[in-house]
Amino acid sequence: MTRAGAPIIVVGGGVAGLATALALAPRPVRLLCRANQGSDTASALAQGGIAAAVDRADSSDAHALDTLVAGARHNDAAMVRWLCRQAPAAIGWLEAQGVGFDRDAAGRLQLGREGGHRASRIVHAGGDASGAAITRGLRRRAQHAWHIQWRSDVDVQALRLRGGTVDGVRVLDSRGRRHDMDARAVVLATGGIGALFARTSNPAGANGSGLALAMAAGARLRDIEFVQFHPTALDIAGGHCLPLITEALRGAGARLQDGPGRPLMAGLHPLEDLAPRDVVARRVAQAQRTDGGAWLDARDLDSDWERCFPTVLAACLAHGIDPRRQRIPVTAAAHFHMGGVAVDADGRSSVAGLYAVGEVACNGVHGANRLASNSLLEGVLCGRRVGESLARLPRSTVPAGAHHWVGRGAELPPAESAALRDLLWQAAGPERDAAGLKSALQTCAAWRKDGWQAQLAHCLLTAALQRDRSLGAHYRTDAT
Ligand SMILES: Cc1cc2nc3c(=O)[nH]c(=O)nc-3n(C[C@H](O)[C@H](O)[C@H](O)COP(=O)(O)OP(=O)(O)OC[C@H]3O[C@@H](n4cnc5c(N)ncnc54)[C@H](O)[C@@H]3O)c2cc1C
């Protein structure tokens, strides 16, 4: 195949990559990811669902306002308005792809409520198994789409640049073989960075490897200090990637408590347990330090656990906790990256031929803090927008001349990786200050030559130090 006829390469088999690949039809697409059946995607783990103002009493303007308030108005307001207006149509599109959302006896969509939303507008599927249902539906479509060629056992390790334009990728397959592939354009849909922190709700592969590739290619990054911490992951001693305890449980009446059983959020915020995630996450972290731990009491819940919360029930039981009879120990955990590769509304990065979409990208829609359940929505809508815009890319123009490869570089050795995760958690977790950030930067600087993860962490710490005021999820205890 000539380079002019090369496929568009989409890296990532989560909701953003799948939506992009489907929307590219009829252009040939090569979809690359690391694991089969979406087992390494954050998308498949999503519990709460997908936000959309579908109720008559609700409106896309109200959804947009809640998004802007959650994002501390650091958002791109035009992107927010676009996303919220398109949300009901995204639900319709997902249903057309075979995703069955939960409905009541009258056939109406069941709507949940999560922190920061002033209306019930979270559409869900399979109770708290929404992400699994959505990715299963999209995966089936993609597997039957003739324009998509799928490889699910490869790690993309380098990008090829020719005349300043990205026109290929180098991958390592599961048998340790290297392959170089031509690309008409490359779309990174590689997810977030939660796994760089000691405690996370993300899968282990969400370590920012796509972000590191974009950095190596010289792409501009944006807002990378903004990381959302979820207040309620299951607190497993020594655990790194922790099961999430969905906020929908608090929406259904579960309450946070400290060790002796006192309400954790009483008097702290008008919305108490459903206050914005950063507020609750900081209180949970504080209770872990000083009040005998943080617990979620869901024992009095008037819900059918098997139908409404099968994922949480199974995760708790697997760790010897029956949430119907016992309080659930919880911890704050790195959950969502608002920052990422700086892109425009069509996913274009600052490097020609390189695009980004989903959690790895930053188009400004989430501002300084993401509103709950807006990210699956972003993955679907922005994925489709990027795919549709790339489908119009002329086939003929390809850059000429010599090429060179830019890669992430060496991996940090396991012991240093674990130390880096602790370092980031302590210095750039739910609470940050200049002294902690400066000291972490010094340690990190010494590790930079040993692995790309330390280089990425160095960038995040630098951005967090430079932003010397609290904003959204970035909380500076020394300058609030
Ligand atoms: C536990 C949990 C619950 C959540 N609940 C919700 C929710 O209810 N509602 C909501 O809106 N959002 C939720 N989120 C956030 C949301 O799930 C994610 O933001 C979103 O799914 C990210 O989608 P993505 O396609 O960008 O990335 P992912 O779904 O993470 O997919 C990343 C893909 O990139 C591939 N990849 C990465 N690096 C490479 C590489 N170097 N080479 C090859 N392939 C690579 C991976 O294999 C994977 O296929 C939740 C997140 C978590 C972790």
What is the average pLDDT value for the chain, to the nearest integer?
Answer: 94
Distance (angstroms) between ligand 1 centre and the Cα of 41 equals 5
| Domain contains 275 | yes
Q: What is the DSSP letter of 217?
A: T
In this structure, are 393 and 430 located in the same domain? no
Under the banding of pLDDT at 50, 70 and 90, the label for residue 401 is confident
Rg (Cα) of the chain, in Å, rounded?
A: 21
The atom number, within ligand 1, closest to the CA of 135 reads 29
Band of residue 127 on the pLDDT scale cut at 50, 70, 90: confident
Closest to 295 (Cα-Cα) out of 322, 259, 249 = 259
Q: Are 51 and 122 in contact (CB under 8 A)?
A: yes
Same domain for 93 and 71, yes or no, is: yes
Q: Determine the distance separating the centroid of ligand 1 and the alpha carbon of 465, expressed in angstroms.
A: 27
Domain end marker among 357, 378, 405: 405
What's the CA gap between 475 and 469, in Å, rounded?
8
Asked if the model's pLDDT at residue 137 lies above 60, the reply is yes
User: Among residues 480, 429, 438, which one has the least CA distance to residue 462?
Assistant: 438
Residue 211: strand, helix, or coil: helix
CB-side neighbour CA atoms (13 Å) of 159:
32
Task: Quick: pLDDT tens for 338-389.
Answer: 999 999 999 999 999 999 999 999 999 999 999 999 999 999 999 999 999 9
Q: Is residue 438 part of a domain?
A: yes
In a domain, 380, yes or no: yes
Count of domains forming the chain? 3
Atom 17 in ligand 1: residue holding the nearest Cα: 43
Q: 12: CA distance to ligand 1 center in Å?
A: 9
Whole-angstrom distance, CA of residue 264 vs CA of residue 283: 7
Best of 43, 128, 382 to mutate for ligand 1, by most ligand atoms within 8 A of CB? 43
SS (H, E, C) 97-113: CCCCCCECCCCCECEEC
From 333, 359, 388, give the residue that closes a domain.
333
Candidate of 37, 41, 155 to mutate for ligand 1, largest count of ligand atoms within 8 Å of Cβ: 41
pLDDT at 5: 81
Does residue 140 carry a catalytic annotation?
no
Looking at the structure, tell me whether residues 329 and 350 fall in a common domain: no
Which pLDDT belongs to residue 480? 63
Residue 68 lies in a domain: yes
CB-based contacts of 418, cutoff 8 Å, min separation 6: none
Whole-angstrom distance, CA of residue 63 vs CA of residue 117 = 7
Owning domain of residue 280 = 232-333
Can you say how many angstroms the Cα of residue 380 is from the centroid of all Cα atoms in its chain? 13
Same domain, 438 and 471: yes
Out of 173, 376, 378, give the residue to mutate to test ligand 1, the one with the largest number of ligand atoms within 8 Å of its CB: 376
Predicted confidence at residue 2, as pLDDT, reads: 53
Q: Which helix (H) or strand (E) holds 8?
A: strand 8-11
- Count CB atoms within 10 A of the CB of residue 277: 28
Asked if pLDDT for residue 390 goes beyond 70, the answer is yes
CA-nearest residue for atom 13, ligand 1, is 46
What is the whole-number distance in angstroms between the Cα of residue 289 and the centre of ligand 1?
Answer: 30
Closest atom, ligand 1, to C-alpha of 51: 11
**Which candidate in 121, 139, 222, 277 is catalytic?**
277
Percent of the residues in the chain that have a pLDDT greater than 90, as a whole number: 85
Distance from Cα 439 to the centre of ligand 1, integer Å: 31
- Is 203 a domain residue? no
Is the pLDDT at 448 greater than 60? The verdict is: yes
463 and 377 in one domain? Answer: no
Between CA 242 and CA 232 the distance in angstroms is 10
To the nearest whole percent, how much of the chain has pLDDT over 70?
Answer: 98
Q: Are residues 360 and 325 in the same domain?
A: no
Closest CA to 113 of 173, 188, 62, 165: 62
Q: Are residues 350 and 297 in the same domain?
A: no
Residue 169 and residue 241 in one domain: no
Q: How far is the CA of 300 from the centre of ligand 1 (A)?
A: 32
Q: What residues are paired with 151 via a beta bridge?
A: 32
Residue type, 179: H
Final residue belonging to a domain, choices 302, 333, 364: 333
Helix axes 77-96, 60-70, angle to 10 degrees: 120
* Phi-psi sector, 83: left (phi>0), alpha (psi -120 to 50), beta: alpha
Adjacent-strand bridge partners of 328: 296
3-class SS of residue 308: helix
Position 117, amino acid:
H
Average pLDDT over residues 27-47: 92
pLDDT digits (tens, 9 = 90+) for 145-173: 999 999 999 999 999 999 999 999 999 99
Task: Give the binding-site residues of ligand 1, using a 6 Å CB cut-off.
Answer: 11-17, 32-35, 40-43, 45-50, 130-131, 154-156, 189-191, 201-202, 205-206, 209-210, 244, 336, 358-359, 373-376, 379
- How far apart are the C-alpha atoms of 353 and 349, rounded to whole Å? 8
